[in-house]
Structure 1
Amino acid sequence: KRWAAKDSMGQKMISFVQDLQVVGPKTFKIVLKEPTGLVLSALGKPSSNVPFMMPKRVAEIDPSTQISDFTGSGPFVFRKEEWKPGDKAVYVKFPQYKPRSEAPSGLAGGKVARVDRVEWRAIPDHQTAINALLAGEIDFVEAPPHDLYPVLKADSNVRLVTLNPLGNQYTFRYNTLHKPFDNPKVRQAVMWAFNQEDFLKAVIGDRQYYKVCQSLFPCGTPLESRKGFDAGFLVESNVAKARALLQEAGYDGTPIVLMHSTDLAVLTNLAPVAKSLLERAGFKVDMQSMDWQTLVSRRAKKDSPAAGGWHAFLTSWVSADILNPVMAGFLNSACDRAMFGWPCDQEMETLRDQFARETDPAKQKTIAEAVQVRLVQYPTHIPLGHWYSAVAVRKNVTGMIEAPVTAFWNIEIKK
């Protein structure tokens, strides 16, 4: 219930639930009001807002209150006494944990802790982190900047490994509460002003690690489609079309407050590209720089941009989190119950409900295409292409698992 109150897919799934029943110490029963194909995919979702198993005392905490007890059900124990926020987090092997007998498979199967201790260290300077890896002072760098890949490839004691083959999707998010983005035509103008290549080149650079994708849902997955997207849409900027839409909408020159994250390498260059493309289309832009934590706090505010709120920001989604209309959080258009940005569109919600009720994959695809068409009419966000990253590890580190997020079970360090 705690998870379902906050997660887009959980909200939709719980609306189909008539009752949740405790059957025994290890079993619960979900009774549905009507058929839906959401239950397994919702409970098994792998990344943002996962329905983790928690002790009863923690699960019953108000969903709007951040937890302070991190007890879970996995093969490692969080050492809260060693936690230094912004510096270090420590996990140690849980000797009483009993893994399943199967081999690990993504985030399923047996989770065997093969190391006694895992230390996460925050090293803000990327070159310092890479130097520590090359010197053997650390074993693993989760997200090395793409421009340092050549340095890593040149060292015989280090290797680059891609663990998330689905990759990630860059995204531009509007705040639909405030002028001018309360007007769908103004939001459409942004879509026509943008092209994915400029964003991907600015941040990733190497074509081996990015892909232009003219689809709302990730390319290479069942719901990939170009339905509703014109030939050059998101591939080439159409400044004339963007300017025409702004004129039609009566845009009055209100500056767009664009939040710019400065401390995450995979996001830093996105906002300056957006600013340039927006200004070319006729927008005025007030780009305000801040660290990611400040941005995260600020994006939750519904205040007007002039009073400390915002108009837009850019972020990235793990592709595994946006595979369908219900799972993709930024498509939630349930007004106050939607994610920050708060789109409010009954037509989109009706389509998402239809998708949730449908169990035939072919019919689901048709509904997903209708969602994509609606996105162009009532934009909630803009997909800005796929990018892929590699982890950098010492060559004596083995057993890493392909998954949408980094897992530390099954990893071994060979002496």
Structure 2
Amino acid sequence: MSHISRWKRFAIVSSLSIFALTAAASSQAVAVGKTITAVMHSDLRTIDPGFTTAYITRDHGYMIYDTLLATDANFKIQPQMADWKVSDDKLTYTFTLRDGLKWHDGTPVTAEDCVASLKRWGKNDNMGQKLMDFTASIEATDAKTITLKLKEPYGLVLESIGKPSSYVPFMMPKRLAETPPGQQIPEQIGSGPFKFVKAEFQPGVKAVYEKNTDYVPRKEPASWTAGGKVVKV
């Protein structure tokens, strides 16, 4: 089996896994009202998606976190939390956060939060480490703008930041992203379509999520990890 074939097979399996609960919510909303109960493919025990490569933890991450960029069903990188532009010399990437982004605690998502999140991810993930090797600087130039400058051109900047597999570069508040990569984050605060109800979490037994009523999905149709994530419960 070729590398591309293996990757496509992984993509299909991953997409089914990532959106299993969302699909269940969509198809069963009328029948069961506002609560969906689903049996996932594995037990959720570790809830920091930056601490383990377990698929179930990655899937949990997609419920509560969001990413700057995302990969669509055609394996193309798309804007998610941010749009981007690239300088003519391919050395400067500028990411601009879209309007209306809030963390689950009600505070606005800032570029500083995202810079800290990328730096934490870049210490654990192989693609992130390679990207950081090519990076001269990454900083918040204002509340909504992230500027990444390279030492030399690198062709996988967008593919790294928009990668769909573990470790996924999920965004989180700076205070959590500054947790050392060898430790698990103490809270699960994201900006994604669901909030994690930690008080009801029983490792390996039960995980509960509630709709994030402040979440503003993108207007584009959902396509794998890209596009609008519309909650139907």
TM-score (norm 2): 0.48
TM-score, structure 1 length as denominator? 0.27
Q: Which has the larger radius of gyration?
A: 1
